[in-house]
Amino acid sequence: MSGDAVLRIEGVEKNYEQGGNILSILKGADFTLNRGETVALVAPSGAGKSTLLHVAGLLEHPTAGEVFVAGKASSGLGDDARTAMRLSDIGFVYQFHHLLPEFTALENVMMPQMIAGLSHADASERARQLLDYMRIGHRAEHRPAELSGGEQQRVAIARSVSNAPLVLLADEPTGNLDPVTAGYVFEALNALVRQSGLAALIATHNHDIAAMMDRRVTLDEGKVVET
The candidate with the shortest Cα–Cα distance to 12, out of 86, 88, 68, is: 68
Give CA–CA dist 202/168, Å, rounded: 8
Q: How far is the C-alpha of 176 from the C-alpha of 107, rounded, in Å?
A: 23
User: Residue 224: pLDDT above 90?
Assistant: yes
Query: pLDDT value at position 34?
Result: 92
Q: Say what the pLDDT of residue 45 is.
A: 81
Of 93, 122, 98, 117, which is closest to residue 190 (Cα–Cα)?
Answer: 93
Edge-to-edge strands of the sheet including 223-226?
90-93, 167-171, 199-203, 38-41, 215-220, 223-226
Buried b (16+ CB within 10 A) or exposed e, 167-178: bbbbbbbbebbe
- 60 burial via Cβ count (<10 Å: 0-12, 13-18, 19+): middle
% of the chain beyond a pLDDT of 70: 98
Instruction: Give the span between the Cα atoms of 163 and 83, in whole angstroms.
Output: 14
Decide: pTM greater than 0.95. no
User: Distance of CA 189 to CAs 28, 119, 149, 178, Å?
Assistant: 30, 26, 15, 16
Residues 24-80 have pLDDT tens digits of 999 999 999 998 889 999 988 888 898 999 999 999 999 999 999 999 999 888 888
Phi, psi of 18 (to 5 degrees): -135, 110
pLDDT tens digit sequence for 161-197: 888 889 999 888 777 778 887 887 788 778 877 777 8
Q: What Rg value do the Cα atoms of the chain yield, rounded? A: 17
Reported as a pLDDT band with limits 50, 70 and 90, residue 1 is: very low
What digits encode the pLDDT tens for the residues 79-138?
889 988 888 899 888 777 789 999 999 999 999 888 888 899 999 999 998 898 888 899
- Residue 98 has a pLDDT of 82
**CA dist 169 → 100, 143, 185, 194, 217 (Å):** 20, 25, 15, 15, 14
**Rounded Cα–Cα distance for residues 10 and 214 (Å):** 21
Question: Rounded to whole angstroms, how far apart are CA atoms 106 and 94?
Answer: 19
